[in-house]
A and B are shown apart, each in its own frame.
Chain A
């Protein structure tokens, strides 16, 4: 599990009593953010009628995320476009940079995904209460439920609502960690089975790499689309 270790890069930085040293995790966060900024800045710089490759890439990502938001949360979610876009891109790039051998996967740490998910959860809740006031609590009372079942349903709804940040964060973290661990295990098989039996796990490893790249994209997409769905609940409130 060495690949998940966090270690300090450079000197120890302390803010009061807390340690905020620059670590390999911070390094990959910075790399991912910088990569996003550089790619999209280059893509947005030219304003030609017929786009070149980078411009096409950035514009396709833009319309992809815009379509995802308008499909799931409707037109009301337009002010939150840039947040969901940066969220999707950040998670996607962190996942993808994690696929490079010897790289650190930022999203394979529960604390990172949990902070993102908790921020989304709190933000969505605040938006919900701002839009609907106390009427937002109607989210926990589905319509058309028999009065006898109502207390039970409300409790279940509240639990499911409160477990959203946990499920959102654990889904991403567990997927990334499981994928990388699996690759590590198969890599270990290749070494221990040697030249005779190592070919089978090696081919598995190759296949898993492809699968992991798919998962890296898919999990970023799922993370973003779940955010859109939560946002939809807060904005439109039809349960």
Chain B
């Protein structure tokens, strides 16, 4: 079956081929030397002109274009790199400035705080000293007063009791004995108070 189909195909192909080329004159036109010289002549002229114009005019322009593009791209990349470096430098500087100013601010703050604390301490110390002095003065006065007050009370008590006795009895009593009694009594009082 397959063989039959193949053979049929070949036969049709052959038939078609014959009909297609039946009208053609024999031989390849390429081998007809009638126009060989003309073809060579025109080939030399056209190809020669093409070659000369391409070499002298067009190709140098294209290669120039390519070269300038290449160099320009390289240049642009270079400047871009440079600018990037510069901007990085600027960023570094900026960050350094910020860091420095932060440190400075901190040190100023610390200094000021120490100064103030010092001041406060000094003032407080002076104040305390003044206060202590005053307090001790007052205490001294107080203790003086207290010491004197006992004697005075006894004296007053003795005088009062002498006056009272004089009024009551109408007789003068020895003031020294009264003073002795008052003293004893005050001593007893004091002991009682202490206990």
Interface residues in A55-76 by Cβ distance below 8 A to B read 55, 58-59, 62-63
**A16-57: which residues lie under 8 A (CB-CB) from chain B?**
18-23, 25-26, 29-30, 32-33, 36-37, 40-41, 43-45, 47, 49, 51, 55
Chain A residues within 8 Å of B51, by CB? 82-83, 86
| Least Cβ–Cβ distance between B193 and chain A, in angstroms | 115
- B39 interfacial by beta-carbon distance below 8 Å: yes
A2 within 8 A of B: yes
- Least CB separation from A32: chain B residue: B46
The answer to whether A85 and B59 touch (CB under 8 A), given A18-B37, A33-B50, A37-B50, is yes
Contact A6 B50 (CB under 8 A): no
A115 lies within 8 A of B59 (CB): no
**Does B2 count as interface, using CB distance less than 8 angstroms?**
no
Cβ of B65 < 8 Å from any Cβ of A? yes
Pick the contact of B43: A1, A21, A29 (CB < 8 A).
Answer: A29
Q: Does B1 contact A (CB under 8 A)?
A: no
- A192 and B46 in contact, given A49-B69, A62-B63 (Cβ under 8 angstroms): no
A139 shortest CB reach to chain B, Å:
27
State A37–B49 Cα separation when bound (angstroms). Answer: 10
Q: Which of B16, B39, B44 contacts A111 (CB 8 A)?
A: B39
Q: A1-B28, A55-B65 are in contact. Are A23 and B39 (CB under 8 A)?
A: yes
Contact in complex: B54, A4 (CB < 8 Å): no
Per the bound structure, the CA–CA distance linking A188 and B72 in Å amounts to 57
Q: A20-B42, A111-B40 are in contact. Are A43 and B29 (CB under 8 A)?
A: no
A207 within 8 A of B: no
B19, B31, B43: most-surrounded residue (chain A CB, <10 A): B43
Contacts of A44 in B (CB 8 A): 58-59, 61-62, 65
A161 close to chain B: CB less than 8 A: no
Q: Which of B21-68 contact A (CB under 8 A)?
A: 21, 24, 28-32, 34-44, 46-47, 49-51, 53-55, 57-59, 61-66, 68
Beyond A1-B24, A58-B62, A59-B65, 16 additional pairs, beta carbon < 8 A: A6-B38, A19-B34, A19-B37, A19-B38, A20-B41, A26-B46, A29-B42, A33-B47, A33-B49, A36-B50, A37-B50, A62-B62, A108-B30, A111-B36, A192-B19, A193-B12
Residues on B close to A: CB < 8 A? 12-13, 15-17, 19-21, 24, 28-32, 34-44, 46-47, 49-51, 53-55, 57-59, 61-66, 68-69, 72
